[in-house]
């Protein structure tokens, strides 16, 4: 659920009057997303998405995110595009929050991942990586290796509440990741950094676009692939689905070949990606108030994935 | 928040293929409503609402609810209408739940109630009462006076957890209401029974329609008015707004005059209505699991309203 802010009909009408979008027919909160408040806005000109940025988004990052969507769309990637008001400005304020209207992307995210989804995801992600080239702004990935220790320290004392021994497991893994993380030498660029199934839309079985660029940043391109291996290629019972992983990599390399160094680094990047989601979920698990209208995500799902990748040395060990 | 059931894109596509609605462009859960799962479904033919009925709705009541929406719309009332599939059937099944697609109603519910809203609500409610005449099915109001004692008994032992002394207050009030409730002699018919602001849409400052008929039933027409006095005419600080109440009654009587007996009964009906929402909120307060993704509504808001009405003998005492 993701409506933290209630907007009155008058506020919406006054806000939309600044655009060339005709009359407001309806505006309903959408029960998706976690970080922001999202509304499906229907006007005379069709459906749009109205997003109010809540406090977890740094307003200073918004020009990066919005500019990136414009840049990617101009390069032919299917993604929401910020809509400018009559004054040419897209980023405004509504209910004391930064707010933006973006174009509506047809399609739905896949609730049941099929192998074919993974093949198309791979292609789409590679297209995103190519399209990001030449974007003029940059943003550090605050949730990459240098960001993990502060997250760990903030959760360390209570980690064993979630699972006895978890703090020790994390401490050991963090030492290893910090020592061995490939900081140079691999191709870097714009990555999505949160390409989970709910951010990838399909329509009539074809990938129709990517959404939610609010974790996008500059980082190793192969790290995005590693995130997707974790997010798309494990079954609900914890099994790693090699068919899905193979299709994902094949789809990716059809558009952007992976170098030998990137392939070699993937098992370690997958461990790091598992660590990243394990740590943020653990932090949220320990710090989400009991009454919050947010479904906490299980950190242990990512502990399981981390342990799986710890057994892996090369892509061959995955069966890839 | 109101999405209890997740639907896959394939399920939606297969479901919508039974209708003459073109291709599915999008289907997003709506963060409104409490009882059912609601989705905003966009197809080639425009927006629709897809509702999956969750377990709090009795499937045996669905022909009443859907038939009523058809009946009211045919009589000129603006409300959602069930959409029939190619086989002429509107009520189907999706994800093991009864499911229906209804037409999309333009407008938004008012987050900040203005006096003018109340005037239009009064008119709209009276139109609903007139339009309900002649509807062939009937449904008992399970949440009227006869339903309150079982609800009270289910919460009695723990009522004082919410407020010390609450169980005694409720017991005394219930005795009085059961003894004095006007069971005959007042005009009866179809009532909405849940005409809270989130079920009344306005567009460009004009009432654009009523939604959510899932508490509709046969009962005293003036009881619907009493529910609205409670739901629309108190300010957030607990003050009764006589201007709003007067506009509500004026609006109503412009379309359907209230008899002297109905006017005399209104203070008691308002007490009863306050009791009804106090009891259901109390029950939900005591029985909603801590982790449920539902915002519990404060029962004490309705204790305050009940106490206010207890001071009233005639409409004059309200200032009406």
pLDDT digits (tens, 9 = 90+) for B296-320: 789 999 999 999 999 999 999 998 8
pLDDT in tens, A104-115: 999 999 999 999
% of chain B with per-residue pLDDT over 70: 96
Burial annotation A126-136 (CB, 10 A radius, 16+ → b, else e): bbbbbbbeebe
Residue contact B106–A26, C-beta within 8 A: yes
- The answer for residues whose C-beta is within 8 angstroms of residue B308's C-beta and 6 or more apart is B234, B240
Q: How far does chain B reach from its first CA to its final CA, in angstroms? A: 37
Residue contact B2–A104, C-beta within 8 A: no
Residue contact B108–A32, C-beta within 8 A: no
Residue B292 near chain A (CB below 8 Å): no
Residue contact A293–B25, C-beta within 8 A: no
Residue-by-residue DSSP string for A193-245: S---GGGEEEETTEEEEE---TT-EEEEHHHHHHHHHHHHSB-TTS-B-HHHH
The pLDDT of residue B77 is above 80: yes
Report CA-CA distances (Å) from B186 to A125, A223, B93, B162, B192.
Answer: 67, 71, 39, 35, 17
The pLDDT of residue B187 is above 50: yes
Q: Average model confidence (pLDDT) for chain B? A: 94
Per CB-CB distance under 8 Å, the chain B contacts of A295 are 293
pLDDT band at residue A291 using 50, 70 and 90 as cut-offs? low
Closest residue in chain B to residue A289, using alpha carbons only: B291
Nearest to B171 by CA among B181, B157, B161, B185: B157
Pairs of residues, one from chain A and one from chain B, whose beta carbons lie less than 8 Å apart: 100
pLDDT in tens, A135-182: 999 999 999 999 999 999 999 999 999 999 999 999 999 999 999 999
Residue A29 has its nearest CB partner, among B6, B10, B32, at B32
For residue A289 the two structure tokens come to 């108030």
How many residues appear in chain B?
Answer: 320
Per CATH, domain B115-318 is 3.90.1200.10: yes
Instruction: Give the pLDDT mean for A198-203.
Output: 96
Closest residue in chain A to residue B31, using alpha carbons only: A31
Report CA-CA distances (Å) from A129 to A126, A150, A277.
Answer: 5, 28, 21
Residue A31 near chain B (CB below 8 Å): yes
Instruction: Give the pLDDT mean for A244-258.
Output: 98
For residue B75 the two structure tokens come to 């009589």
Q: Domain spans of chain A?
A: 9-103, 115-318
Confidence at residue B166, expressed as pLDDT on a 0 to 100 scale:
97
Confidence at residue A301, expressed as pLDDT on a 0 to 100 scale:
96
How far apart CA B260 and CA B265 sit, in angstroms, is 9
Confidence at residue A33, expressed as pLDDT on a 0 to 100 scale:
66
Question: What kind and span of H or E run contains A151?
Answer: helix A145-162
pLDDT band at residue A308 using 50, 70 and 90 as cut-offs? very high
Q: Which of residues 165-204 of A touch B (CB under 8 A)?
A: 202-204
Confidence at residue B293, expressed as pLDDT on a 0 to 100 scale:
56
Report CA-CA distances (Å) from B154 to A171, B56, B151, B201.
Answer: 50, 17, 5, 34
pLDDT in tens, A22-74: 999 999 999 876 678 999 999 999 999 999 998 888 999 999 999 999 999 99
CA distance B205 to chain A (A): 9
CA distance A138 to chain B (A): 32
The pLDDT of residue B294 is above 50: yes
Task: Answer positive or negative: Cα dihedral of A226, A227, A232, A238.
Answer: positive
How far apart CA B126 and CA B191 sit, in angstroms, is 10
CA distance B27 to chain A (A): 7
Q: Which CATH superfamily is domain B9-103 in?
A: Phosphorylase Kinase; domain 1 (3.30.200.20)
Residue A30 near chain B (CB below 8 Å): yes
Residue A17 near chain B (CB below 8 Å): no
The pLDDT of residue B144 is above 60: yes
Confidence at residue A55, expressed as pLDDT on a 0 to 100 scale:
83
Question: What kind and span of H or E run contains A2?
Answer: none
- The answer for residues whose C-beta is within 8 angstroms of residue A296's C-beta and 6 or more apart is A281, A284, A285, A288
* Disruptive mutation site among B7, B108, B120 for chain A (greatest number of A CBs within 10 Å): B108
The pLDDT of residue B227 is above 90: yes
CA distance B76 to chain A (A): 20
How far apart CA A30 and CA A41 sit, in angstroms, is 10
Residue B1 has its nearest CB partner, among A1, A26, A40, at A1
- The answer for residues whose C-beta is within 8 angstroms of residue B118's C-beta and 6 or more apart is B232, B233, B244, B245, B247, B248, B251
Per CB-CB distance under 8 Å, the chain A contacts of B23 are 204
Q: Average model confidence (pLDDT) for chain A? A: 94
CA distance A104 to chain B (A): 9
Confidence at residue B1, expressed as pLDDT on a 0 to 100 scale:
42
Burial annotation A147-162 (CB, 10 A radius, 16+ → b, else e): ebbebbeebbeebeeb
Confidence at residue A294, expressed as pLDDT on a 0 to 100 scale:
61
Confidence at residue A1, expressed as pLDDT on a 0 to 100 scale:
42
Confidence at residue B292, expressed as pLDDT on a 0 to 100 scale:
59
Instruction: Give the pLDDT mean for B133-160.
Output: 96
Residue contact B31–A31, C-beta within 8 A: yes
The pLDDT of residue B288 is above 80: no
% of chain A with per-residue pLDDT over 70: 96
How far apart CA A248 and CA A277 sit, in angstroms, is 20
Residue A30 has its nearest CB partner, among B30, B106, B290, at B30
Instruction: Give the pLDDT mean for B35-46.
Output: 92
Q: Are B209 and B79 in contact (CB under 8 A)?
A: yes
The pLDDT of residue B250 is above 50: yes
Residue-by-residue DSSP string for A8-37: -HHHHHHHHTTSSS--EEEEEEBS--SSSE
Residue A106 near chain B (CB below 8 Å): yes
Instruction: Give the pLDDT mean for A193-207.
Output: 95
Residue contact B40–A29, C-beta within 8 A: no
* Disruptive mutation site among B25, B44, B207, B288 for chain A (greatest number of A CBs within 10 Å): B25
Residue B111 has its nearest CB partner, among A1, A6, A112, at A6
Instruction: Give the pLDDT mean for B113-142.
Output: 97
């Amino acid at each position: 659920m993701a409506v933290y802010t209630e907007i009155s009909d008058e506020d919406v009408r006054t806000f939309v009057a600044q655009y060339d979008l005709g009359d407001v027919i309806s505006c309903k909160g959408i029960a998706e997303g976690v970080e922001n408040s999202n509304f499906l806005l229907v006007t005379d000109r069709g459906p749009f998405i109205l997003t109010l940025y809540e406090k977890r988004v740094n307003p200073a990052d918004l020009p990066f995110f919005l500019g990136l969507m414009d840049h990617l769309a101009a390069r032919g990637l299917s993604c929401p595009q910020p809509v400018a008001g009559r004054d040419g400005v897209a980023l405004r304020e509504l209910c004391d929050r930064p707010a933006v209207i973006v174009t509506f992307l047809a399609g739905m995210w896949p609730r049941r991942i099929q192998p074919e989804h993974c093949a198309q995801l791979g292609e789409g992600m590679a297209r995103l990586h190519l399209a990001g080239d030449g974007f003029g702004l940059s943003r550090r990935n605050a949730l990459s290796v240098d960001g993990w220790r502060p997250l760990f320290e903030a959760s360390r004392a209570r980690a064993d509440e979630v699972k006895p021994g978890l703090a020790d497991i994390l401490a050991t893994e963090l030492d290893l990741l910090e020592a061995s993380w490939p900081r140079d030498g691999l191709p870097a660029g714009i990555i999505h950094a949160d390409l989970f199934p709910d951010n990838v839309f399909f329509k009539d079985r074809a990938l129709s676009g990517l959404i939610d660029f609010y974790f996008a940043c500059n980082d190793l391109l192969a790290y995005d692939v590693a995130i997707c291996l974790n997010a798309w290629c494990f079954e609900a019972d914890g099994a790693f689905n090699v068919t899905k992983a193979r299709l994902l990599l094949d789809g990716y390399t059809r558009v952007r070949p992976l170098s030998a160094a990137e392939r070699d680094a993937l098992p370690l990047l997958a461990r790091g990606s598992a660590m990243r989601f394990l740590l943020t979920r653990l932090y949220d698990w320990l710090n989400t108030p009991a009454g919050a209208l947010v479904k906490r995500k299980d950190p242990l799902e990512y502990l399981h994935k981390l342990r799986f990748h710890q057994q892996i040395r090369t892509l061959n060990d995955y069966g890839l």
